[in-house]
């Protein structure tokens, strides 16, 4: 990939208060989830593939996944009692933010989001909406006939 100077990068961006839009993903705040809805069976494991990007002049200081609870601040899943010993960040801590949850419980059903923060004042970003996980006794799958 050809290197882009800061001036060229600035010329390609449109800013809004929360994020920028650019043809170069290295200059935007974004979280991309491969799947938006996941159905999993109780007792199994699930991976939530995810990638993220941020402006090239930022330095990421903290990353975590959280379970969305209305009117509550995001809390790192790995620090929550409900998920103790069952969550693992399998990404590369660079741009891959994939999460694995083991030994799924029905109470794990809900929305999950990835969040990262930088050292700057504007530097907190959550991927919204997140991934909806539905944990059931069985998952129904539609057959696709060709």
Query: What was the pLDDT predicted at 19?
Result: 40
Query: How far is it, in rounded angstroms, from Cα 134 to Cα 4?
Result: 42
Using pLDDT thresholds of 50, 70 and 90, give the confidence band for residue 146. Answer: low
Each residue of 124-145: pLDDT tens digit?
A: 788 889 999 999 986 665 555 5
Return contacts of 86-92, CB within 8 angstroms, 24+ apart.
89/63, 89/65, 90/47, 91/50
Give the global pTM.
0.74
Each residue of 100-120: pLDDT tens digit?
A: 999 999 999 999 999 988 887
Query: Is the model more confident about 15 or about 116?
Result: 116
Query: Closest Cα partner for 104 from 86, 130, 122, 119?
Result: 86
User: First vs last Cα of the chain: how many Å apart?
Assistant: 39
Using pLDDT thresholds of 50, 70 and 90, give the confidence band for residue 33. Answer: very high
* Rg of the Cα atoms in the chain: 17
Query: What was the pLDDT predicted at 21?
Result: 40
Query: How far is it, in rounded angstroms, from Cα 12 to Cα 21?
Result: 8
Q: What is the mean pLDDT of the chain?
A: 79
Q: Torsion angle, CA of 101/105/106/109, rounded to 10 degrees?
A: -20
Question: Above 70 in pLDDT, residue 99?
Answer: yes
Question: Above 70 in pLDDT, residue 96?
Answer: yes
The lowest-confidence range among 38-47, 85-94, 136-145 is 136-145
Q: Give percent of the chain with pLDDT exceeding 90.
A: 49
Query: How far is it, in rounded angstroms, from Cα 64 to Cα 1?
Result: 29
Query: What was the pLDDT predicted at 119?
Result: 80
């Amino acid at each position: 990939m050809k290197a882009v100077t800061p001036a060229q990068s600035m010329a390609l961006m449109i800013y809004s208060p929360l994020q920028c839009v650019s043809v170069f993903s290295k200059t935007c705040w974004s979280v991309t989830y491969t799947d938006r809805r996941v159905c999993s069976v109780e007792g199994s494991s699930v991976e939530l593939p995810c990638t993220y990007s941020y402006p090239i002049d930022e330095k990421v200081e903290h990353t975590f996944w959280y379970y969305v609870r209305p009117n509550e601040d995001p809390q790192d899943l790995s620090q929550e009692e409900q998920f103790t010993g069952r969550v693992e960040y399998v990404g590369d801590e660079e741009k891959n933010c994939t999460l694995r949850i083991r030994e799924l419980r029905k109470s794990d059903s809900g929305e999950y989001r990835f969040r990262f923060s930088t050292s700057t004042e504007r530097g907190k970003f959550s991927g919204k909406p997140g991934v909806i996980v539905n944990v059931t006794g069985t998952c129904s799958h539609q057959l696709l006939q060709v």
